[in-house]
């Protein structure tokens, strides 16, 4: 082949290679541009989505903060005193003092049958002597308020205990409030009575019922017997066979009755 033709042939081959190479480069450049474009789009959407998310969160927090920090506007219908008062702890209202009541008298069938004078009845008037031999009417010894009338015997330990408790439990706390005490001894002599009263330091009024005539008007048995009566002799409360509950109920009945008397005096 002539030399000129060979040169032409080589030139053509080189040209085709250059064209093919340029085509590949151009294709690669185009693909690379497209990849960068899509990567830019993806990153842009990611940034936009993140911005939307942050904006949403930021607005929520701002609203929350605004809600907390927003100053309270006082209603024109409510005074400042009312609003402040609502925040203060409510103090409990003081309870009204419990007024004492006269204890109920509960009797067994045996005690009921042995009691001739009961709550609400009038204690019979009696003419009795004291250990010094002077005669007294029972009703003349009743106080203007209430009077404790006790039937007792020195042969009964419970009776002796009641006489011993009468001073500190009844006389001392209630003497200045018009409460009187009258004791009626059953079946003993003046000497026996003095022996007992001196022993327990009992200094209140004592009447003698040696034959039991006075006792028979109020009961048939069970000593001691204690009656709380008003100025007319009406029985407010009573009990028998002295015990701690008897002492407690007697004091309660006195407090109730004396308290009612004090209230009536104040009202008058």
* Cis peptide upstream of residue 2 (ω within 30 degrees of 0): no
Confidence bin at 259 (pLDDT 50/70/90): confident
163 against 8, higher pLDDT: 163
CB 263 within 8 A of CB 145: no
- pLDDT exceeds cutoff 60 at 83: no
| CA–CA dist 242, 152 (Å, integer) | 10
Can you say how many angstroms the Cα of residue 229 is from the centroid of all Cα atoms in its chain?
A: 35
Q: What is the mean pLDDT of the chain?
A: 80
Confidence bin at 33 (pLDDT 50/70/90): low
What average pLDDT does range 60-77 have in this prediction? 49
Which among 234, 233, 240, 238 is positioned nearest to 253, based on CA atoms? 238
- pLDDT exceeds cutoff 90 at 63: no
38 against 144, higher pLDDT: 144
What average pLDDT does range 129-151 have in this prediction? 96
Confidence bin at 93 (pLDDT 50/70/90): confident
Q: What single-letter DSSP state applies at residue 177?
A: G
53 against 225, higher pLDDT: 225
Residue-wise pLDDT for 195-218, tens only, equals: 999 999 999 999 999 999 999 999
Least confident among 7-11, 111-115, 260-264: 7-11
Residue 81's pLDDT is what?
Answer: 47
Strand partners, 206: 183
Residue 94's pLDDT is what?
Answer: 72
- pLDDT exceeds cutoff 50 at 265: no
- pLDDT exceeds cutoff 60 at 71: no
What average pLDDT does range 14-38 have in this prediction? 56
Residue 65's pLDDT is what?
Answer: 43
30 against 141, higher pLDDT: 141
Can you say how many angstroms the Cα of residue 13 is from the centroid of all Cα atoms in its chain?
A: 115
């Amino acid at each position: 082949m002539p030399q000129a033709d060979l040169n032409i042939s080589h030139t053509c081959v080189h040209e085709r290679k250059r064209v093919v190479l340029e085509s590949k480069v151009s294709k690669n450049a185009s693909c690379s541009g497209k990849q960068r474009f899509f990567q830019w789009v993806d990153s842009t959407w990611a940034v936009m989505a993140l911005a939307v998310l942050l904006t949403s969160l930021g607005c929520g927090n701002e609203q929350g903060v605004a809600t907390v920090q927003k100053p309270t506007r006082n209603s024109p219908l409510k005074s400042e005193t009312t609003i402040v008062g609502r925040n203060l702890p409510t103090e409990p209202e003081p309870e009204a003092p419990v007024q004492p009541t006269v204890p109920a008298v509960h009797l067994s069938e045996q005690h009921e049958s042995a009691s001739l004078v009961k709550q609400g009845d009038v204690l019979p008037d009696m003419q009795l002597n004291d250990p010094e031999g002077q005669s007294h009417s029972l009703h003349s010894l009743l106080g203007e308020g209430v009077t404790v009338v006790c039937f007792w015997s020195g042969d009964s330990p419970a009776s002796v205990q009641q006489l011993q408790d009468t001073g500190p439990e009844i006389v001392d706390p209630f003497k200045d409030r018009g409460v009187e005490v009258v004791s009626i001894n059953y079946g003993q002599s003046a000497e026996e009575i003095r022996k007992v009263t001196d022993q327990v330091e009992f200094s209140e009024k004592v009447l003698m019922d040696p034959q039991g005539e006075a006792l028979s008007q109020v009961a048939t048995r069970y000593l001691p017997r204690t009656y709380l009566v008003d100025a007319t002799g009406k029985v407010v409360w009573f009990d028998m066979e002295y015990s701690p509950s008897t002492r407690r109920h007697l004091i309660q009945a006195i407090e109730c009755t004396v308290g009612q008397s004090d209230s009536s005096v104040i009202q008058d």
